[in-house]
């Protein structure tokens, strides 16, 4: 929310007072003086006027987890273990998953309580590549890369997928880079050729690469450099 709106939503300030506070440089967000009424205030921001703290700001949390097979990318599931069951953090009810994976898909999963960060990561408009290692039942022919690069029509959503890059690694294995995350996208792309995906593993989301020191089921907090990359 804009800082001027944040302040004028408080019962104690009207709009005119808010304008003055900003002009007089009496407002600080995360320790920095703010005079632009458009400056953003997040739930994580510390907001002060003079020496008074108006919002403490809750800590923003970011984790990378190596999703094992046989677990659901959801916060709760009545039948199966979930990705969140693997996380042992005090504030885990606030966390959500940025970009789900299917039950048996493995690999990089990013978990956060920061909605604008996870939107940047998953929105197709930001065009961050999601890179998957894929193994299939049948051979992967040269035609696949051409078709994926052109985009495939998905009748259910009535859309054509954005160009995707396929690098064939072996007769039945490949690395696929897609910028969207449509429902079962990778399986449906190979399904176009009646080729079943038998192993799917996410290696990377944009600049964030699955840490090779993590074992399936393990997680670690992201570094501040990693958080800033998104
Ligand atoms: N595409 C799929 O089909 N499944 C996943 O888990 C991820 C991408």
pLDDT in tens, 49-99: 999 999 999 899 999 999 999 999 988 888 999 999 999 998 888 999 999
221 pLDDT exceeds 90? yes
Q: Please count the residues of the chain.
A: 230
- The pLDDT assigned to 127 comes to 86
DSSP 27-38: EEETTEE---TT
- The pLDDT assigned to 32 comes to 94
pLDDT in tens, 106-124: 999 999 999 989 999 988 8
Q: How far apart are CA 178 and CA 193, in angstroms?
A: 17
Of all protein residues, the one whose alpha carbon is nearest to atom 7 of ligand 1 is: 101
Alpha-carbon separation of residue 67 from 79, 87, 197, 206 (angstroms): 17, 11, 18, 17
Q: Which residues contact 226 (CB under 8 A, 6 or more apart)?
A: 62, 64, 207, 208
- For the chain, domains (ranges, CATH) are 3-55 (3.10.290.10), 62-224 (3.30.2350.10)
Active-site hit among 91, 102, 139, 225: 102
200 Cβ below 6 A of ligand 1: yes
102 is catalytic: yes
- The pLDDT assigned to 76 comes to 82
**Tokens describing residue 84:** 């969140």
Task: For the chain, give the mean pLDDT.
Answer: 94
Q: Which residues contact 60 (CB under 8 A, 6 or more apart)?
A: 42, 44, 112, 113, 114, 117, 227
- The pLDDT assigned to 168 comes to 98
220 pLDDT exceeds 90? yes
101 Cβ below 6 A of ligand 1: yes
Cα 100 to ligand 1 centre (Å): 8
Question: Which atom from ligand 1 is nearest to the alpha carbon of 102?
Answer: 6
pLDDT in tens, 139-196: 999 999 999 999 999 999 999 999 999 999 999 999 999 999 899 999 999 999 999 9
């Amino acid at each position: 929310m804009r800082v001027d709106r944040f302040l004028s939503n408080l019962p104690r300030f009207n709009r005119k007072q808010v304008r003055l506070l900003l002009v007089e440089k009496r407002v600080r967000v995360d320790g920095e003086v703010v005079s632009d009424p458009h400056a953003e205030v997040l739930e994580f921001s510390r907001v002060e006027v003079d020496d008074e703290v108006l919002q403490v700001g809750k800590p923003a949390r970011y984790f990378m987890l190596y999703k094992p097979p046989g677990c659901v990318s959801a916060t709760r599931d009545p039948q199966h273990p979930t990705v969140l069951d693997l996380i042992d953090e005090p504030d885990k009810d606030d966390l959500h998953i940025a970009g789900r994976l299917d039950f048996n898909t493995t690999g990089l999963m990013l978990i956060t309580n920061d909605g604008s960060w996870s939107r940047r990561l998953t929105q197709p408009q930001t065009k961050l590549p999601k890179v998957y290692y894929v193994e299939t039942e049948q051979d992967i022919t040269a035609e696949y890369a051409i078709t994926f690069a052109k985009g495939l029509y998905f009748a259910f959503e009535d859309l054509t997928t954005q160009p995707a890059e396929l690098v064939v690694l072996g007769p039945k294995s490949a690395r696929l880079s897609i910028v969207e995350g449509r429902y079962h996208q990778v399986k449906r792309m190979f399904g176009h050729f009646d080729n079943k995906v038998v192993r799917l593993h996410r290696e990377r989301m944009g600049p964030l690469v699955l840490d090779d020191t993590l074992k399936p089921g393990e997680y670690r907090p992201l570094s501040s450099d990693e958080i800033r990359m998104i």
